Chain A
């Protein structure tokens, strides 16, 4: 009844009901808290996320809604050791390990941020160089077409006068398709 008298009894009731339905209580603690400002808050947040206090680094507080969620290094799951005995081998992750914010992007089916054998600038130059060159050449080909010289087809017998249904009595006009 003390809690009922408290102003936020409705939110408490809501959390309680949701905990009942989801059968995994303590969901209120699991929501990320605000950005940690004092060292004690940092220590508490590091403990919550199973990280060392020195390793814990929250996202910068610029209002983007991260709260105190830790900022883990941007490494995709492709880079993790395939031979280690992970708890979840397909995800290359152990149980309880803090999850990167973009974890669903970094799974092995999706974005691969592993190091590339050639540098980024070299890759960009090669790809865009090739595409740019091909586009430029196609543009030139449109502008200056080059093909065998062609002319309209020339038919014999005065442009096939009889075959096209011309009057056999009448004399057709002479069609000269050549010049000597």
Chain B
């Protein structure tokens, strides 16, 4: 039988994990059962709503609502710490100054070249 070799980015698939079949403790089995119970409950809820002939509206997914609200309401839980301030500076303030200097200096060089007549490129696609 081929021996599956794990590499840093290729983790062992669950079906090839010997721990799934041997060394299965009671706690692990209980945990798996609880998770399966959660999943089955959600499936049942969904199917009941889906196949309900009297349903007229869309089936609302609470997990989706949670996710959308979480992504949209980041500011209420935002706290200015060292890390977040560093991010803010690095992405919000530094690019302004950096690009100002880059553009200014390169265009000043070009201006100098054009004024002194040393500019060799007569035709430019971008200018």
Chain A interface residues (CB < 8 Å from chain B)? 23-24, 27, 30-32, 34-35, 48-52, 54-55, 62-67, 69, 87, 94-99, 101, 103, 115-121
Contacts and interface: CB of A to CB of B under 8 A. Distances in A.
Interface stretch (B31-39, B92-100, B106-114, B118-126): B31-39
A8 to B, nearest CB: 14
Q: Tell me which of A48, A55, A65 has the highest count of chain B C-beta atoms within 10 A of its own C-beta.
A: A65
Given A34-B77, A50-B38, A52-B34, A115 B11 contact: yes
B55 interface: no
A62 B83 contact: yes
Q: Tell me which of A24, A63, A87, A96 has the highest count of chain B C-beta atoms within 10 A of its own C-beta.
A: A96
Contacts of A66: 70, 74, 77
B66 A63 contact: no
Given A55-B35, A62-B81, A99 B64 contact: yes
Contact of A30 (B38, B57, B66, B79): B66
A52 B35 contact: yes
Nearest to A88: B61
A116 B8 CA distance: 9
B31 A54 contact: yes
Nearest to B43: A94
For this complex, into which size category does the number of interface residues on chain B fall?
A: 35 or more
Interface of B: 7-11, 31, 34-35, 38-39, 42-43, 45-46, 57, 59-67, 69-71, 73-81, 83-84
Contact of B81 (A63, A96, A120): A63
B11 A67 contact: no
Nearest to A113: B9
A32 B72 CA distance: 10
Contact of A94 (B42, B60, B62): B42
A115 B46 contact: no
Given A24-B60, A50-B63, A32 B9 contact: no
